[in-house]
Structure 1
């Protein structure tokens, strides 16, 4: 008994759907999901893998089937039959990808909005918009200028000034040497700002960390604590807000297990939020080519229990105070450099007269 082609099509469609669904959920291509945001991103990625697997199997299966079934037989030297276009089929294979792309776009925006999305900056862009209504071409000119008029607000400068109020942050940033750029929404150049996750509006983040990227290291400062470290420690289950910029060239803050990446740009203040949900130590990688030693620009993000995090904070504060006390106690009598170093000059073969001459140059 010959099975109708419609039955074959149905059976193949069911098989392709099952295979696509299974592989989309079991591809094993992503590392451990260690943040609440990672779960949302993984859902989007798995959906894209399901769709991509189905399309791949259909296209490649059709090619292989056609190559075998319609291959040239031995002794067949005739031309192939003329085949004319099929308008309904062309409409179908154009409409289906368009619907798929539109659906994934809507899903992507929903995920993006669920993890905060970008703030509209309505207040900061209002002066530009009002001027654009008065003068043709003013909006374009406003988006291309680096130094805003005194009557306009500069979001990057405001965020930089706020971060620099922390002495530890001010000690590691070159904000006085790097002019803060004006937002240029018309050309896509803005200070990226992430809103709180829906449901957490009005609640300040549990932990704010200022991050500074430089060739070739990450420096983390915890405002109001005086802590500066090269390793990021965060408590599990609490939202963390990262405020970052760069001292020299563009860097990128990327923790694969968090599924989040944000650029650190000189003259711009970037922001990213995440809520870690799994204890462990995760690699922080610079994902932007920043120089010859770019591959070595790595650090660690340590996610730990709240009590362990508080203990770490206390240890860092004690260590900072001890270091300061030792630095003050090194020269308690406020001796001159020659007097202070006199006991050591004989051991290293330096004459006190030479030291005095170097000091006075």
Structure 2
């Protein structure tokens, strides 16, 4: 079974996009946190494969060594081996304990935050799109960008600079997820969640809401474009020139995303 599942993961990786074969189905790594999650994922698969080979090997050996020798030979139907039974009980708990340890240590590394970020972004998830408020080193809002159901937004971040994301929602629970960053965190009304990571690869990476949040949950998409420092500063200047300076609170102000697409709204008023 482990071999079969591993083969499936390899097949999925071969057709799913860059890096997925190398990382057993996961996308190309694009943040400093991705290394921890990716290593845990690959390590878990290797451990599963090793255990699967051992178990199947023991089963085949038992089938061969203890099969019925002749039609007249009836082997003993019950047998007991206390040390062996104790081992069979302890070994699975040991395996679970090792997996738990590595999962916990990986989680602590991924969630580690030292508040020495170079970029701060207040992210607002609202029905059904996203708003990015870019904050300066003094905690003051500089500019904002936002999306709508009609247009998937592309937000820019600088490469190789630590970014702190502060997440909030004015309506329902959403979930901020960029698969290539190997990170996902819930966006909960009345609660401010935050995390830190450093984008390590320039390029455009798809993001989405990973929490079923209502009728147009599937349209709650966005892109993160990781660019050079110069291009990032030019992007902020462009937002300010367009009048998008200061802070937009997403679903609580005039730039709120409409709750239904425009064509449906027009149809409802006819």
Q: Unaligned regions of 5+ residues in structure 2, if any? A: 11-20, 136-140, 148-153, 246-270
> Which whole-Å deviations, capped at 9, do the CAs of 1:233-269 have from their partners, x for residues lacking one?
1101111111111222111111111111100011111
- Give the Cα separation in 1 of the matches to 2:95 and 2:146: 46
Matched, 1:204 2:116: yes
- Give the Cα separation in 2 of the matches to 1:27 and 1:239: 24
Aligned residue for 1:41?
37
Aligned residue for 2:83?
88
Give the paired residue count.
217
Q: In the TM superposition, what is the alpha-carbon distance from 1:38 to its structure 2 partner?
A: 0.3
- Indicate the structure (1 or 2) with the bigger Cα radius of gyration: 1
- Give the Cα separation in 2 of the matches to 1:256 and 1:228: 21
Aligned residue for 1:270?
193
Q: In the TM superposition, what is the alpha-carbon distance from 1:295 to its structure 2 partner?
A: 1.9
What is the SS of the residue equivalent to 1:49? helix
TM-score, length of structure 1 as denominator length: 0.54
Contact 1:210–1:220 (CA under 8 A) maintained in structure 2: yes
The structure where helix makes up a greater share of residues is 1
Runs of 4+ in 1 over 3 A off after TM superposition: 60-73, 75-80
Q: In the TM superposition, what is the alpha-carbon distance from 1:31 to its structure 2 partner?
A: 0.6
Q: Which of the numbers 46, 54, 64 marks the counterpart of 2:50?
A: 54
> Which whole-Å deviations, capped at 9, do the CAs of 1:168-220 have from their partners, x for residues lacking one?
xxxxxxxxxxxxxxxxxxxxxxxxxxx22xxxxxx531111111112221111
- Give the Cα separation in 1 of the matches to 2:176 and 2:72: 62
Q: Unaligned regions of 5+ residues in structure 1, if any? A: 1-15, 118-194, 197-202, 323-361
Judged with a 3 Å threshold, the aligned counterparts in structure 2 of structure 1 residues 105 and 317 are, in CA distance, closer, same or farther, namely same
Q: In the TM superposition, what is the alpha-carbon distance from 1:37 to its structure 2 partner?
A: 0.6
Matched, 1:291 2:208: no
- Give the Cα separation in 2 of the matches to 1:54 and 1:227: 50
Contact 2:125–2:174 (CA under 8 A) maintained in structure 1: yes
TM-score, length of structure 2 as denominator length: 0.71
Q: Which of the numbers 236, 239, 242 marks the counterpart of 2:165?
A: 242
Q: What aligned pairs does 1:96-111 form with structure 2 within 5 A after superposition?
A: 96-111=91-106
- Give the Cα separation in 2 of the matches to 1:261 and 1:207: 19
Q: What aligned pairs does 1:1-361 form with structure 2 within 5 A after superposition?
A: 26=22, 28-67=24-63, 76=71, 80-117=75-112, 195-196=113-114, 204-223=116-135, 224-230=141-147, 231-320=154-243
- Which gives a bigger RCO, structure 1 or 2 (Cα 8 Å, sep 6+)? 2
